[in-house]
Every structure is written in C-alpha cells, then in structure tokens.
Copies of this chain bind each other. A is one copy, B any other.
Amino acid sequence: MATLQDLMLSAAINGGSTIVFLLVFAFLRLQPFSDRVYYPKWFIKGVRKSEDRPIKARFVNLDPRAYLHFLDWMWESIRMPELELIDHAGLDSAILLRIYLLGLKVFVPLLVLCFLILVPVNATDTNLRKSSGKLFSADIDKLSVANVQDRSDRLWAHMLLTYVFTLWTCYVLHNEYKTVAFMRLRFLKSQLSRPEQFTVLVRQIPDDPDETVGLHVDHFFRVNHYEHYLMYQAGLKSRFSSPNQKGFLGIRGEKLDAMKFYTSEIERLVGEAATEKERIFSDEKAKLPVAFVTFDSRWGAAVCAQTQQTKDPTKWLAEWAPEPRDVYWRNLAIPYMELYFRKIAITAAVVVLILFFMIPVTFVQSLANIEDIERTVKFLRPVIERKFIKSILQGFLPGLALKIFLLILPSVLMILSKVEGHLSLSKLDRMAAAKHFYFMVFNVFFASVFTGSALQQLKLFLHKSPSDIPQLLGDAIPLKATFFISYIMVDGWASVAGEILRLKPLLFFHFRNMMFVKTEKDREKAMAPGGLSLNTALPHVGLYFLLGLVYAVIAPIILPFIVTFFGFSYLVYRNQVINVYHPEYESAGGFWPHIHNRVVASMIIMQLTLLGLLSTKRAASSTPFLAGLPVLTFIFHTYTKRCFESAFVKFPLEVSS
C-alpha cells in the first residue's frame, strides 16, 4: 500500500500533466491551423469559415492580445445557457452534461460533510497507532475508518452519515430524474413537426402468399388503423450499404486526376444505382418484412406504437420509428425467434467475456510488478530503486496495464450489441454502455477489491453464504482506497485532459489535410468530429459514481479526487459539446434511466459494504440500524421508476399540453 507521499507525488504528477495538457490546449486553440480540430462544430454549422481570417493569420496567431485571454475558453464554455445549448448541440449533449453536474451535486456536499465530521472523527482515534509498523500504518489510512477502534461509539457517526448520504443522493436523483423527464417531454413536443413523430416502425410482418409485403402492410393498416393511416414505406434490401470508408484511415492508394476519376466514378455509380433500383423493385426477395408506416396525426402514431396489433405477439411489432439517422438498418429484418436466440447467445457471450477477460490482464499486471521486474531485468535495478522512479512506477503501472486492455473493449462490446440485434444507434450505444459498466464493476472494481478475476469472484461468492457477503466487502473494500485514488487520476483526470487536447484528431487532421485534401468537401470530411461516444462515456461515469459513494464513508480522502474529476469533466465536456462534437443522432436523453439505475445500485453496494464493515468492527448496536437502508433504497428505486421512467419508454396520447 502506498504512503501519503506516494499519493501526493502521484497527484502532483497527474495534476501537473493535466495542467500542462490544458495549457497546450489553451495555446493551440488560439492558432488558426487548429481551428478545424477545436471548433469543427461551428464549421459544420457554417458559422465559422477559414476565409474569415486575413490571409497572413491563417496559420499562426500573431496577435499578442489573444494570448492574454488564453483561459477564456473555460468561461466561454460555461457561459452558454442550457436552452441555447440544447438548441445548438442537441438534448443528448445537454443531458450528458447534467450527469457530470449530478456528480458535483451529489459529491460536493458529501465532501464538505466528510471533511467537517468524518475526517476529524477518524484522525483523532488511535487504532492504527497500536499496530504501527504493519501494512496499515500508511498515513492516509489515519483519515479513514481503519483508524477507528473496534466497538467504538465513533462508528455511530459513520452510520448516521450513511443515512444522510443516502437521503441526499436520493433527493438529488429524484429531482434530476424529474427535470430530465420534463426536458425530454418538452423537447419531443417541440419536435412535433418532424416526420418521425408521425411514423411507426413495423417489423415481423408475416408472409402473405397472395400479396407483396407492401400491399400486405397497406391492407393491414387500412383495416386496423383506417382513420389515421396515411402511407407506408417498405424496407428494401440493397447491396448498397451505408457509404463506408475505403482504405486505411481514409487513405486511398491511387493518385489520379481528380476530375477525371470522379466523373467516371459518378457515371459508374449512377448506372449501378439504376440497375439496383430496378432489381429491387422487381425482386420480391429484396423486400424485407419491415415497413415505416406514417399516420396523419401524432395521436395515430402513438396509438399504433403502444398497442399490440394482432393476437400473435410475435407479429406486426410496432414501435416509434427512430430518427432516420438513428436507425441501424442492418438489424431491422431479423426474424423474431432469431432475435430471441441472439439475445440469449450474446448474454452468454458477455458473461464469458466478463469471467475470462481478466486472465490476460492479470498476466500483464503480474509482469508490471516492480519486484518482479527488478528480479528479471537486473540491470534496471539501480534505476528502479530510486525512490522517485519507484513511486512513479507504483502509482502508474497497475492502472496503466488495465487501461490498455480496456481500450480495445468498447469496439468488442459494440460488435456484440450489434449482433444482439438492436434497432437504433442510440440503443446500441446504451446497450454497449450497459455491458461495459457490468464489465467494469466486475473486472475493475470487484477484481481490484478481491484481487481476483471475475471467475475467482464467482467461485468465492458461490462458496460463501449470503450473510457473509457484506463482511467480505467490508473487509476488502477499505484496503483498496489508495489504488482507486491512483486509478481515478490515471484513468479519469488524464483521459479528460486527453479529451480536450484531441491530440489524435489534431495529428490526423493535419496529416490528411497535407496529403489528400483537395476541396472544401474533403476538408470537412477530414475534420469530422463524430458523435458523443456515449458507449464509453457512460460506463466510466458510472464507475466513478460507484467509487465515490462506496468510499465516501470509508475513506473520505477519495472525495476530492472524485469531485475534481466531475468538475473538470463538466468543464471539458461543455467545451467539447459546444465546439467539437456533432452528434450522429438525437435520442432526447434516452440514456438517463441507465445512469439513474446505476447510481441507485452503487448506493446499495455502499450500504452493504458499510454493513459488513460495522460488523467487522463489532459495532453490533449500530449495525441493525443500517439493515433497512438497502430496502428503503430499493423502494426509492421502484418509486422513481413508476413516476418517471414512462417518459423514456412510452409516449402519452395527450397531444395538446
């Protein structure tokens, strides 16, 4: 276990490098040559143009006054009011920011309370003085519950604060859920003129030997929704898939006269398109059992999307059509039973992935053990043994090894979610995020707590009785506070700093710009900033909520790091959302219930841990008071679910208000 010095050094290094990143960004963002990397959103909107600047200032900013205001970006990103931000960047972006704000709302009061009450209570006790010289004697542990003696009355403070924290978190969660649900419904109402508000996606259309899919749909809706049915659009299976990037990183191998090349390309494509169109319209097999059905009123569409059409619940499945850009076309026509078995198979695959992923990771982590490295690579010994370098290695290596493995994970999980058969990109992002979160809970959180793979944890839990589990948590979790503090810095702070610097897009943009960009269209392609990457952002925030809540009472020293993460993230993502990202779709905050549920689950883990800890400390008189808390939290969960979840699942018929 690291000492306070190790931790301070690590914090200084991580904090310092974060500040350096910020300064570099503050400098680079003022340079015209990086305008398209740091402000692509404004170019896409057409507000900002390269030609706006005088020729001589197109590459480097020579105006010294600009550098006086080099930190203004923070103020600028904070300044934009939320309604304007929704208008500018979409509701998903605004609600993503609210998640970071939620983190601040939850953890800042916790931080204040902990440092006013818990830290003095812990620090003035003497449990660790008795056992000095042991592992436990690290200074930071004096601030944690480990320093409180067994059977001490001081433990009442921890118990009471668990109640206060739970109540406060529930209060904040409740208000946020209410606000977000309101924002979502207001937003959907403001979108009333959009075609998808009148359109329903109908799948699993049964075969009809006598008529084509199109006619079948038409007849069906003319009979069953005759008052509001307007028209249908059949799903077609085309060899033309979505325009896919050719070559590596958008680099094409040939060099040709562009005009000639594109003219011939266009001719070829037009010809192909005509043939394909003809083929599709004549070929019955190209018609998929899927249709977009449009109604003459939102009421008609809402009715169709919420009701069961026929006696067979596996046929004529209707749901709100996602926005056209949100539809994941490939999955529309999967037969019902296949969809069902895909779901089972992917669930099994995710369980296997979670159980066995840790085998290669622990292998690499064991290589990263300092003592082992010293022993194996003996000539490095003098270097490693220097206190400074040893501290760095101890602070960085375990977190880094994990991080590298986690980098390839999102793509794997996204592929699994696609195979699972979800219909929209927003759902894919949410489902990949959910898988990623479960993965992190078992393979980052519990794996670090119990220093074992998910497979070993499974064995552990199978052979422990349910009444032993809180104690298991209470024993193991407090020991890992410093590891997670280092993890927060390496994973949290550094990745947010990397997020704002956009080093990879910066280099790629200039590389492409030099090599291939001929026209304005090319340049736009090269700067394309992409969407919000919710599939990676959400699970990470979920993990930090878990860490913050679980350690708030046990080792309050973690809270400043968590609060810094949320504050810093809020600042950076506000900038990114305003200046950089251009969302691929708009799901109107459809991901909020996921985040809400995860925070609630984190609270329950926090309470179980405290229960176990108190029984380890033999505080028998205060333990029963905690036992009701998980039940109350669960009741809170069902209550908010009943009140607010429907805003994200159903669509009320009431149109006027």
A313 proximity list for chain B (CB < 8 A): 642-643, 645-647, 650
Contact indicator B461/A652 (Cβ below 8 Å)? no
Q: Is A513 part of the contact surface with B, judged by Cβ < 8 Å? A: no
Q: Is A412 part of the contact surface with B, judged by Cβ < 8 Å? A: no
Copies of chain A in the complex:
2
Distance of A121 from chain B, by nearest CB (Å): 32
Contact indicator A311/B657 (Cβ below 8 Å)? yes
Contact indicator A657/B310 (Cβ below 8 Å)? yes
User: A652 touches which one: B225, B308, B314, B647 (CB < 8 A)?
Assistant: B308
Which of A209-217, A359-367, A398-406, A463-471 contacts its partner?
A: A463-471
A303 to B656: give the CA distance in the assembly, Å: 18
Q: What's the interface size class on A, roughly? A: 35 or more
A651 to B311: give the CA distance in the assembly, Å: 8
A350 to B465: give the CA distance in the assembly, Å: 25
What is the chain B residue whose CB lies nearest that of A303? Answer: B303
Q: Is A306 part of the contact surface with B, judged by Cβ < 8 Å? A: yes
Contact indicator B463/A653 (Cβ below 8 Å)? no
Contact indicator B311/A652 (Cβ below 8 Å)? yes
Give A303-319 interface residues, CB cut-off 8 Å to B: 303, 306-311, 313-314
A653 to B226: give the CA distance in the assembly, Å: 12
A177 to B366: give the CA distance in the assembly, Å: 55
A639 proximity list for chain B (CB < 8 A): 340
A224 proximity list for chain B (CB < 8 A): 299, 653-656
User: A653 touches which one: B309, B643, B654 (CB < 8 A)?
Assistant: B309
Q: Is A302 part of the contact surface with B, judged by Cβ < 8 Å? A: yes
User: Scoring A residues 256 to 274 as 1 if CB is less than 8 Å from chain B, else 0, what string do you get?
Assistant: 0000000000000000000
Contact indicator A653/B307 (Cβ below 8 Å)? yes
The residue among A185, A303, A310, A643 with the most chain B CB atoms within 10 A of its own CB is A303
User: Scoring A residues 620 to 657 as 1 if CB is less than 8 Å from chain B, else 0, what string do you get?
Assistant: 00000000000000010001001101110011111111
A419 to B639: give the CA distance in the assembly, Å: 20
Q: Is A227 part of the contact surface with B, judged by Cβ < 8 Å? A: yes
A464 proximity list for chain B (CB < 8 A): 465
Q: Is A515 part of the contact surface with B, judged by Cβ < 8 Å? A: no
What is the chain B residue whose CB lies nearest that of A307? Answer: B306
A306 proximity list for chain B (CB < 8 A): 306-308
A654 proximity list for chain B (CB < 8 A): 224, 309-311
Give A153-210 interface residues, CB cut-off 8 Å to B: 185
Give A453-489 interface residues, CB cut-off 8 Å to B: 461-468
Distance of A457 from chain B, by nearest CB (Å): 13
CB within 8 Å for A307 and B307 given contacts A464-B465, A642-B340, A654-B224: yes
Contact indicator B652/A185 (Cβ below 8 Å)? no
Contact indicator A635/B344 (Cβ below 8 Å)? yes
A643 proximity list for chain B (CB < 8 A): 313-314
Contact indicator B465/A311 (Cβ below 8 Å)? no
A656 to B309: give the CA distance in the assembly, Å: 11
What is the chain B residue whose CB lies nearest that of A185? Answer: B311
Give A278-308 interface residues, CB cut-off 8 Å to B: 299, 302-303, 306-308
CB within 8 Å for A308 and B340 given contacts A314-B643, A464-B465, A642-B313: no
A36 to B615: give the CA distance in the assembly, Å: 67
A344 proximity list for chain B (CB < 8 A): 635
A461 to B302: give the CA distance in the assembly, Å: 48
User: A650 touches which one: B308, B462, B655 (CB < 8 A)?
Assistant: B308
Binding site for B on A (CB under 8 A): 185, 223-225, 227, 299, 302-303, 306-311, 313-314, 340, 344, 461-468, 635, 639, 642-643, 645-647, 650-657
Name 10 interchain pairs, CB-CB below 8 A, sorted by A.
A223-B656, A302-B307, A307-B307, A307-B653, A308-B652, A310-B652, A310-B654, A310-B657, A462-B465, A466-B466
Known: A308-B651, A344-B635. 7 other contacts (CB 8 A): A225-B653, A302-B307, A303-B303, A310-B654, A311-B654, A313-B643, A465-B468
